[in-house]
Amino acid sequence: MPLHSLQHLSPTAVLGLWQLTETPAELWAQLPQAAAYQALMPATADASRQAQWLAGRALAHTLLQELTAATAADMVVHNDATGRPWLAGPTHNLTLSLSHSGEWVAAVLAAGGRAGVDVEIIRDKAQRLASKFLSTLEWDDAAAAALTAPEAANTHYTRLWSAKETLYKLAAQRGIIFKKQLLLSSFVPEESGEIPATLVLDCAETRHCICYCQPAPGYVLTYCHESFS
């Protein structure tokens, strides 16, 4: 099952989920501009990483047709020096964010503004590394949530990590310190909801809202789109 769902976040932004079941060969057959993508494929990617990489590009082209009705063959997804994806071609000021983990690939495509998306397998890694990316207040909130619902601790810590990854992509800037510049306010953990967030850049603070859900058992998804005012 390739394309899983499309969700319009606004008239100018769409979120897509792809459940990865195809082989790299099957995904190559779905991509326009195959020669261009063959030149861009990371040389060290194994078969699993190739499939995730290709599915991300296939999903980006699907969102492109959904949002703009543009000819997919006119666009090619590149990555800049920071690893962020961007569309080469007549992009109409399009912003693209991509993420993949396990068998899931997620993307947000927006006409104007900025966007971030992250999908993660739920595991204990985020809890083990929490001191490296959570502020003191976030640490206290997470510990309290884990005491209240210990069976959901891995999900909650993975959700926090994912939310910060989405906020990081929204910032579009390297060298960010996650525990000092990407801040999450207190919220009541549920299966889906919103996390108030603050981005601290160049001594200025901006407020944001990170949406979260579980697209499938064992996974967490976070995303955000904001139009420029």
For 100-152, the pLDDT digits (tens) are 999 999 999 999 889 999 999 999 999 999 999 999 999 999 999 999 999 99
Extract the runs of DSSP E, i.e. beta strands, from the chain: 3-10, 13-19, 76-79, 85-88, 94-101, 104-111, 114-121, 182-184, 193-201, 204-213, 219-226
Residue 108 per-residue DSSP state: E
Q: Per 3-state DSSP, what percentage of the chain is helix, strand, and coil (rounded to 5)?
A: 35, 35, 30
* Kind plus residue range of the DSSP H or E element containing 60: helix 47-68
Report field, pTM of the whole predicted structure over 0.85: yes
**Three-class SS state of 112:** coil
pLDDT at 139: 96
C-beta atoms surrounding 43 within 10 Å: 4
- pLDDT interval class at 210 (50, 70, 90): very high
pLDDT at 158: 98
Set out the domains of the chain in order of their start, with CATH numbers. Answer: 3-112 (3.90.470.20), 119-216 (no CATH)
Tens-place pLDDT, residues 23-66: 999 999 988 888 889 999 888 889 999 999 999 999 999 999 89
Please check the confidence at residue 92 and state whether its pLDDT lies above 70: no
pLDDT at 73: 62
